């Protein structure tokens, strides 16, 4: 699967519940359409979050009616997205994810959580974790967030921890792109994802 999407000069990644072909839900398609033609990374991410929230509610309502067991598994893996690009010569990242607010009836309320860099990131640095990450979380608890590696090497190292542990749904090769003030450069990408 292609893990990094591109629309124009914007890049994005989606973790968690990303595809349900039987019900027509595709987080990748939602984000791709929502960020197209948007000025600025922040506007693109806001547009994607709004579109995702509406369509995710529909997806979860269908799951509640058709497959309660799948709904319960999906609630622990709601979509998380990061959008990255360069605005006016400055690398910018904006992420969002959803949390479910449980109540006694369906549909439950979806809460949107966002993070924007620059802005919300201490010292202008932040590591975004998307998707399956239980082994990564244990590593960070044991060793801390500072890896002593370049960001791209650190990301590949952390994903490889999950691959080596046999985490379901996580496999290689690992795609990586570097976005800096001088533009974007693919460091590794599966041939079918170019």
Q: What is the pLDDT of residues 86-121, one digit of tens each?
A: 999 999 999 999 888 766 666 678 889 999 999 888
| DSSP, residue by residue, 36-76 | TT-SSHHHHHHHHHHHHHHHHHHHHHHHHHH-HHHHHHHHT
Q: Which of 75, 48, 45 is nearest to 59 (CA)?
A: 75
**pLDDT tens-digit readout, 25-36:** 999 999 999 999
Q: What is the pTM of this model?
A: 0.88
Cis bond before residue 143 (omega within 30° of 0): no
């Amino acid at each position: 699967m292609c893990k990094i999407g591109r629309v124009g000069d914007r890049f994005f990644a989606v973790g968690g519940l990303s595809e349900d072909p039987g019900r027509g839900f595709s987080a990748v398609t939602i984000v791709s359409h929502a960020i197209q033609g948007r000025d600025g990374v922040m506007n693109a991410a806001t547009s994607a979050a709004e579109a995702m929230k509406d369509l995710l509610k529909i997806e979860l309502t269908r799951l509640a009616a058709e497959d309660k067991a799948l709904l319960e598994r999906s609630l622990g893996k709601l979509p998380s997205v990061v959008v990255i690009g360069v605005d006016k010569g400055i690398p910018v990242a904006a992420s969002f994810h959803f949390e479910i607010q449980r109540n006694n009836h369906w549909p439950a309320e979806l809460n949107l959580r966002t993070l924007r860099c620059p802005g919300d990131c201490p010292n202008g640095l932040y590591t975004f974790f998307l998707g399956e990450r239980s082994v990564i979380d244990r590593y960070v608890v044991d060793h801390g967030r500072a890896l002593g590696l370049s960001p791209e090497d650190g990301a590949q190292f952390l994903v490889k921890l999950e691959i080596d542990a046999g985490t379901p749904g996580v496999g290689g090769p690992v795609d990586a792109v570097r976005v800096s003030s001088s533009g974007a450069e693919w460091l590794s990408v599966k041939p079918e994802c170019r």
